[in-house]
Structure 1
Amino acid sequence: MTKGILSIGQPFPAFKKSAVVSLEKGKEFFDISSDDLLNEEGRWTVLFWWPKDFTFVCPTEIAEFNKNFGEFRDRNASLIGASTDSEFVHLAWRKNHDDLRDLKFPMLADTSKSLAEDLGILEPTEKIAYRATFIIDPQGIVRWVSVYDLNVGRNVKEVIRVLDALQTDELCPCNWEKGKETLKM
């Protein structure tokens, strides 16, 4: 039986995974855990998944998240990318692809597929992750989930818009954008 997608209001599952954080020899890898998502500085986390390294749609998304890295940082949000490929495949892809060499965020490796499975985003046939994005608040609670089909890239500006809206902690109308009025009750 397929597990349902982790939803809003649920705690993000516990994990500890290796990630590629640099191309510098000896400093390529770093372990990231769910404990890193919990913090007292009010830092949010945006964790986005792609299906496979060395593919076509995925690098366009990763590059776009990287171009907007400062937007996430300015909103006190950590950005983490992830797939079910290994950290060694991530490293090779970063070295091989011009748009991925200078990433400012870690590429998490879920080689056991356990985190993707816990999140309910493991595609049942190929056992790869769907294009999923999770916004997690500083207490480790999922506040937004978006999942796309394997062949459709996501909209990074929409992720930023939703993060802005969530951080207001107010009622935000349809198409609300940062700087616009929120709804008053």
Structure 2
Amino acid sequence: MLSVGEKFPQFKVKATVSNDLNTAFVDIDNNTYKGKWLVVFFYPKDFTFVCPTEITGFAEVNEQFVDRDAQILTGSTDSEFVHHAWRTHHKDLNRLPFPMLADVKRELTSALGILDKNEGVAQRATFIVDPQGIIRFVYVTDLSVGRNPAEVLRVLDALQTDELCPCNWKQGEDVIKVA
């Protein structure tokens, strides 16, 4: 699995960005959000149980990420059409404010090293990538355990200070100053 300090891999995938079939699908690659922080989180499968709780959890705090010049991207190994059906038919995903990446060829999940060997799906993995394309944070949980979007936001805040941040540090608190 790629880790902190490594370059996020080159990619180009279809993404689902709306429920309107005329505008639902776009190509997204490394240059789409050039100069922004990226928060890229993968989940195992559409139409499952834990995944929509995480996606809606990130959607609820999306504006806080936007305020920090960060773009959220989510994705799985499902197709853009499956993403579209799920968005359209799941009330909590209907107005999702960020793209859903469709890694159907499993190229991005394989390059990241997060393709689950037993299930053949994306692991529940989160990456924070800085504007230079460097991975600054990686967070992976078991397929059965959801993430905490507030913790990902807290870490983004800490990374953006470019300072030493103690355990449980929150935005606005003192950072560590080395004499």
Distance of aligned partners of 1:85 and 1:106 in 2 relative to their CA distance in 1, 3 Å threshold: same
What is the 5 A alignment of 1:60-139? 60-139=53-132
What is aligned with 2:28?
32
**TM-score normalised by structure 2 residue count:** 0.98
State the secondary structure of the residue aligned to 1:62: helix
Q: 2:14 aligns with which of 3, 18, 38?
A: 18
Gaps of 5+ in 2: none
Gaps of 5+ in 1: none
Distance of aligned partners of 1:9 and 1:37 in 2 relative to their CA distance in 1, 3 Å threshold: farther
How big is the shift at 1:25? 2.9
Counterparts of 2:33 and 2:144 in 1: how far apart (Å)?
Answer: 29
Counterparts of 1:111 and 1:24 in 2: how far apart (Å)?
Answer: 21
What is the 5 A alignment of 1:150-165? 150-165=143-158
Counterparts of 2:172 and 2:83 in 1: how far apart (Å)?
Answer: 37
Counterparts of 1:24 and 1:110 in 2: how far apart (Å)?
Answer: 21
Alpha carbons 1:37, 1:140 under 8 Å: kept: no
How big is the shift at 1:24? 1.6
What is aligned with 1:6?
2
**TM-score normalised by structure 1 residue count:** 0.95
Q: Cα RMSD over matched residues? A: 0.7
Counterparts of 1:10 and 1:36 in 2: how far apart (Å)?
Answer: 20
How big is the shift at 1:177? 0.4
How big is the shift at 1:37? 4.3
Which amino acid in the other structure matches residue 15 of structure 1? F
State the secondary structure of the residue aligned to 1:22: coil
Per-residue CA deviations over 1:75-132 (Å, capped at 9, x if unaligned) read: 1100100100000000000111000000000000000011101101010011101110
Indicate the percent of aligned positions where both proteins have the same amino acid. 56
Which amino acid in the other structure matches residue 172 of structure 1? C
Greater than 6 Å deviation, 4+ residue runs: none
Counterparts of 1:25 and 1:127 in 2: how far apart (Å)?
Answer: 28
Counterparts of 2:139 and 2:33 in 1: how far apart (Å)?
Answer: 19
Counterparts of 1:82 and 1:20 in 2: how far apart (Å)?
Answer: 10
